[in-house]
Structure 1
């Protein structure tokens, strides 16, 4: 509780000292990006970026499934002896 009140008081003093006119331009750009990623549209955050994010996600999932399948095949071949 002490840390919270201390940090809030510091923020208030810093805001009062700088004023509204001295807020950096980048602050508003960051806020716009944050609002985009925090929209409640049902998508997970890693798919909210663009089409490139969706493609990278699908490639990653496909490669993971190929790897899991390869490991399953390897385990099967090692555990079941070949019939001669």
Structure 2
């Protein structure tokens, strides 16, 4: 049993350490250029259509949440009528 565990440990170590290194594309320079250029757009919209969609969804969720909180506060403040 112990020998099987040692073999499993050696096999797992060999698999992890001998895997090929993948080169990741470093896109930081391109992103810096995109976000630092002066094109009149606010920073939260410079990422394109995806950023605009996320911004609009967040604003809609904020407005809906604020309205719901106000509704719940008013409904909690008004006494319920007894039948």
Question: What TM-score, normalized to structure 1?
Answer: 0.58
**Corresponding residue number in structure 2 for 1:39:** 37
Shift of 1:83: 4.1
Distance in 2 separating the partners of 1:63 and 1:54? 14
Matched, 1:58 2:28: no
In structure 2, stretches of 5+ residues that fail to align are: 1-24
**Corresponding residue number in structure 2 for 1:71:** 69
Distance in 1 separating the partners of 2:77 and 2:65? 18
Distance in 1 separating the partners of 2:75 and 2:49? 39
Matched, 1:81 2:76: no
Q: Which 4+ runs in 1 deviate beyond 4 A? A: none
Question: What TM-score, normalized to structure 2?
Answer: 0.59
Coordinate RMSD, CA, aligned = 1.9
**Corresponding residue number in structure 1 for 2:14:** none
Alpha-carbon deviations, 1:25-56, whole Å to 9, x = none?
A: 84xx4323211101122222221012011011
